[in-house]
Structure 1
């Protein structure tokens, strides 16, 4: 090595130090690039804490697990962020990004909202709901209705439990309905007024206290599985096996702006988790409605004779025709329900018994 090419230790340190300072200066001057934040949604359900554990939390947990930090859905129970009656408006203005509820009790501003929750005798069994929506055209009708509403996108409707009556006094005839103050959904309450019932609407979490204090005589909000799950079986004594609807129809709605920000594959993932939730509920309610009738020790079951209860069903069909007069779209839905009912009756068991 020649003297010209030889580098002394002192020269090396001086050169290396200058380079390090320059590199550090460049790094400090460069803008900091933060990793993209995950998409976060706030979803409020109609259900209280214990019920939400059964009807939605498993699907939300599964979505969050598979999304693996790219997106997270934060689940809130009934009235936790906004009062239930204000839930649709909160969805529309983006206070919440998504909701799970029936269309009826949130006063969704669409004519077909009356067919959410419990439209009297529209269904006999849980499977009737997905069949009506997915094979008889109700999904397309709901999509059409919600397409007219700004900043809200309709996703799906599924089945929950039947609408039976849990009361503090026994119901064994139609006369026993007269004067009862019952916690009910709007449309089915409107129907049951014909038989002397006074429908009452209060926050879900206040129902148990209202039953204890005598402000309510009972509930017609669910089947027996939810009566036990919600604690209402602790403050009522009787369960009427006759139901006014075989299944609750509940919808999933999203804020359109929030939905449009979600990548397509995560949209598909959420829709698959919704379908999984529909499937899980079919099993849980089918199990629970039979289990608590047989093994539950808090409610005595009563029944109204089928011949007398048939009058209620006949009155329901008059109620259908009245609702059909309210809009052309409602008339289409009622016609679908009539066609479906006629098909099920002609099919006979196991589709319909006693037809």
Structure 2
């Protein structure tokens, strides 16, 4: 208990010191702007420093973002340095968007859904049920089917935050303490998952639970959670969840998580063009790394992993879940004209993939 209390005090002090420094920095910016700060800043030629917080804990961040930030800091050659912070380290994930708007932090890597982005299309971030079958579906939808333009339009209506781009992560499967072999087995299961995914899964009796990311492993051990629907098997092994769950359900509700990079608009616009370009190149590097890390990891751990037993719900029964997802799509489309455009694109894309057949779709 003493160790935990000391840890809580240290974390509280870290956040308090951070907020004090952030407040002082904000006051300094306000004061100097009155005196014509841009010219002073240009003349000082000081290193630019950013604080970026990711949705991921330390073990996961080693793969999903840290290599690209390390590369950025190296290639920036002393002109700029990005300090990387992990899930809930400075700001709770659900408050990240507002903190970024205020300038408390400079940039974020997360999905729109988890950070409560105040845009109608935020529901499509994270795991929108059955929107993708494979990880490559996400960049194709954004770059070839018009989602980039829709996201840019949505965030242009929000003060203080610039959306920089999206990429794909892993599928959404269940990792559970007890085996799941039918939809009936999901009823009453308390599961950690994403907001929109949780709303959808509740139709099948799942009880969505929201907890800080770092508390999930202990919550499973104490029985507060019956399972996790937050990732594929690669993350289950990487972050330690495979050590506290016994079964992995091969059926997934989405083939890839949709995550994005965001920045405080003032801080982004202050960057010279070459540093903006470098940041986006490092984003692309991170997207590429995840494509092969997850794709290979999912197959390897399903076939060679020793910590979790694989279970499956029969295809015919799982088809009813996909059918319900399409009803869910229509309900989301009815909420706004822009949501309707996104759903229309998802339907068109799905039809093209089905018509194309193997290897795009196998059924």
Asked if TM exceeds 0.5, the reply is: yes
What is the RMSD computed on CA atoms of the aligned residues? 1.0
Query: Which residue of 1 is the match for residue 207 of structure 2?
Result: 198
Structure-1 separation of matches of 2:360 and 2:198 = 27
TM-score computed with the length of structure 2 as normaliser: 0.88
1:99 alignment partner, SS class: strand
Give the aligned partner of residue 214 of structure 1: 223
Is 1:339–2:321 an aligned residue pair?
A: no
TM-score (norm 1): 0.90
Q: What SS does the corresponding residue of 1:170 show, helix, strand or coil?
A: coil
Query: For the pair shown, which has the larger CA radius of gyration, 1 or 2?
Result: 1
Alignment-derived partner of residue 57 in structure 1: 66
Question: What is the 5 A alignment of 1:120-139?
Answer: 120-139=129-148
Aligned to 2:84: 75
Give the Å deviation of 1:35.
Answer: 5.6
Map 1:85-164 onto structure 2 (within 5 A).
85-164=94-173
Q: How does 1:262-277 map to 2 (within 5 A)?
A: 262-277=271-286
SS of 2:84's partner is strand
SS at structure 2 position matched to 1:329:
helix
User: Counterpart of 2:287 in 1: which secondary structure?
Assistant: helix
Per-residue displacement from partner, 1:31-70 (whole Å, max 9, x unpaired)? xxx9621000000000000000000000001011000100
Per-residue CA distance 1:71-97 (angstroms, 9 max, x = gap): 011100011111111100010000110
Whole-angstrom CA distance in 2 between matches of 1:201 and 1:347: 39
Corresponding residue number in structure 1 for 2:240: 231
- Quote how far apart the aligned CAs of 1:259 are: 0.4
C-alpha distance in structure 2 between counterparts of 1:85 and 1:350, whole Å: 38
Structure 2: state its 5+ residue gaps. 1-42
Extract unaligned runs of 5+ from structure 1: 1-33
| Greater helix fraction, Structure 1 or Structure 2 | 2
**Which residue matches 1:180?**
189
* Count of paired positions: 322
**Residues 1:250 and 2:259 aligned together:** yes
Identify the residue that residue 289 of structure 1 maps to in structure 2.
298
What is the distance in 1 between the residues matched to 2:146 and 2:227?
Answer: 35
Q: Secondary structure of the residue that 1:297 maps to in structure 2?
A: coil
Match of 1:206, SS? helix
Structure 1 distance, partners of 2:324, 2:227, is: 22
